[in-house]
Each structure stands twice: as structure tokens, then as C-alpha cells.
Amino acid sequence: MPFIDLIASIVVRLSRGEALARSCNGEFRLDPTVGVASFDLGGSRQPAVCTIGGAELLVQLAAPVIGVMGVNPVGRAVAEFARAALGAEVVFCSGAGESHPDDSERCVAPEEVERNADIYCFPLPLPSNAGDWLLSRRAQAFRSRAIIVAWHRSASVERALTYLGGHIADDVPLGELAAQGKMSKFHLLRLFKATLGITPHRCHLLLRIHQARTMLHQGMRIPEVALALGFFDHAHLNRTFRLFASDPPSWYQHHGNFFQDRASGVS
């Protein structure tokens, strides 16, 4: 379930109101409106750790070649910093409907990014082919030692996520959520889509599913988890899981997460 493991981990951290460090490295600066999260795939049998930060994460990873899976302003900002501050080579993989980089840029197929990149960067919102590529990794190990997700930071979105995080089991109408950011519900909807690539309702479901996975892995019964998180019943929880992945809730009673399994060799 790679989409949940990438996006939900970020959504959960932001919903707790965690701050990002200033994004600078000497004379070179990463756009301060760009947030960065890294997922360590270094082979540990522990769950892949999501670390949120900015330029300092890219500096710590020190990757010679970065594959950017999508061409958008966020991806370009990461590429510009990686080249200027780290001397890294950057290869782009564009998705359907995306503008291509300048002729001077290197734009390749996902398979070539996989062969050449030391780390992968997924700038939100994800292009469709990036999601398909992640799903295809389910059956095999990642060559990369880390995955980076980058997104455009928005104070309004982060306030809304904090509110959702405090009301995981509750129904939260869009108008109620928009009031937290003091904007119209239509503006908030557009902002979520532009920032994270999904709607506030989907974010709320991701928070619920993320918590459900944790509870299931800790040994709680599926009906108990469903009731605790505001689902009508076991069937409702099962349907919601299947909105995001092919694995039913019972799978998570015996497994960790997508990236944990890939790092530890579980298939």
C-alpha cells in the first residue's frame, strides 16, 4: 500500500502540528515553502522511518544521482537545490499531462530512473505513472536507499490537517474544516488538491486507515477497530481499505507497511 505509506505518514506528522526546520544550507537555499520527507529503505527490519524537514534532509542523504518522479514546480525546486548545493545529478521522469523540463534537462522513463538514481524524489501531487510505478515495486526490492516526498507547504492545509487529526473518528463536513482556515470550502478543496493531490475527505480517510493499521498490527480485532474509528461496521472498514489498496484489513494484523516489507524482504 505505497500511497498510504508515503502520503499518510506525512499527513499524520503534519496533523500533529510538527514544525519543519528552515530550509537552507550555507549560501544555497531550498525554497522555504517546500516541505521534504524522507523514508529510509536502508535494509533495516524496523518500520521505514518518515523524517520531515527541508534542505538538511537532502544534505544528509548526499545522493550523487536523484531521480525526480514528476515535473512540477516542487520537483524543479528540489532539483535546483540538489544541483547547486550538493552537486548532484538530477534525472526527471515526467507523467502524463505534465510539462517536460527544458531541453537541457534529462528526462527518462521510470525504469531508467530506477537503474541510475541513488534516491527517488516524488514531488506532490504525484503523477499517475509514479503511483503505478510504486505499485509495481510491491513484488521486488527497491534499488534506492531512500525515497523523498516533497510538497508545497500551506499553513491553511496544515491547520486543517491538525483539526482532522484531532477528529479522526468524527464526521467533519468540508464547511466546518474550511472555517478552521477562514476560507471558503471551495478554496480549501482546491488548495488540498494543489498541495497534496487529494481532497480533505481523502486525507481524513488516510488518517483513519493509518490509525486502523496501527491498531490491527497491535492485535485489536477488526470489528473493534471499525467502531473505535467511526466506521459503521467491519464491512465499511473493509470497503474503505480497498479504496486505497488491494490488501484487506486482516493483512495488517500480520504485516507492517509496504516499505517495511520491501526493506526486510517480506513478499
Q: What's the pLDDT tens digit per position in 183-237?
A: 999 999 999 999 988 899 989 998 898 888 889 888 899 999 999 999 999 899 9
Average pLDDT of the chain is 77
Check pLDDT > 80 for residue 43. Answer: no
Write down the pLDDT at residue 136: 64
- Cα→Cα distances 148→54, 163, 217, Å: 11, 26, 25
Task: Decide: helix, strand or coil at residue 87.
Answer: coil
Q: Percentage of the chain with pLDDT > 70?
A: 70
Amino acid in the structure at residue 174: L
Check pLDDT > 80 for residue 54. Answer: no
Write down the pLDDT at residue 253: 75
Q: Are 235 and 37 in contact (CB under 8 A)?
A: no
Q: What's the pLDDT tens digit per position in 100-157?
A: 555 456 677 777 777 778 888 889 887 766 666 666 665 455 666 678 889 888 889 8
Range 168-182 average pLDDT: 92
Q: How far is CA 7 from the centre of its chain?
A: 3
What does pTM read for this prediction?
Answer: 0.77
Check pLDDT > 80 for residue 172. Answer: yes
Whole-angstrom Cα distance, residue 224 to residue 233?
Answer: 9
Whole-angstrom Cα distance, residue 71 to residue 112?
Answer: 16
H helices of 36-127, in order, are: 55-61, 73-86, 110-116
39 Cβ neighbours under 8 A, 6+ residues apart: 5, 6, 9, 48, 49, 50, 146, 147, 148, 149, 259
All three cell numbers of 138, joined, read: 510491491
Task: Decide: helix, strand or coil at residue 238.
Answer: helix
- In degrees, to the nearest 5, what angle opens at C-alpha 90 toward C-alphas 113 and 44? 60
Q: What is the DSSP letter of 4?
A: I
66 Cβ neighbours under 8 A, 6+ residues apart: 78, 79, 82, 88, 89, 90, 91, 117, 118, 119, 120, 121, 148
Whole-angstrom Cα distance, residue 161 to residue 42?
Answer: 29
All three cell numbers of 247, joined, read: 490488501
Check pLDDT > 60 for residue 21. Answer: no
99 Cβ neighbours under 8 A, 6+ residues apart: 71
146 Cβ neighbours under 8 A, 6+ residues apart: 38, 39, 40, 41, 42, 61, 63, 119, 120
Whole-angstrom Cα distance, residue 227 to residue 178?
Answer: 27
Q: Which long-range CB contacts under 8 A does 225-228 form with residues at least 24 apart? A: 225/249, 228/169
Q: Percentage of the chain with pLDDT > 90?
A: 18
pLDDT bracket for residue 266 (50, 70, 90): very low
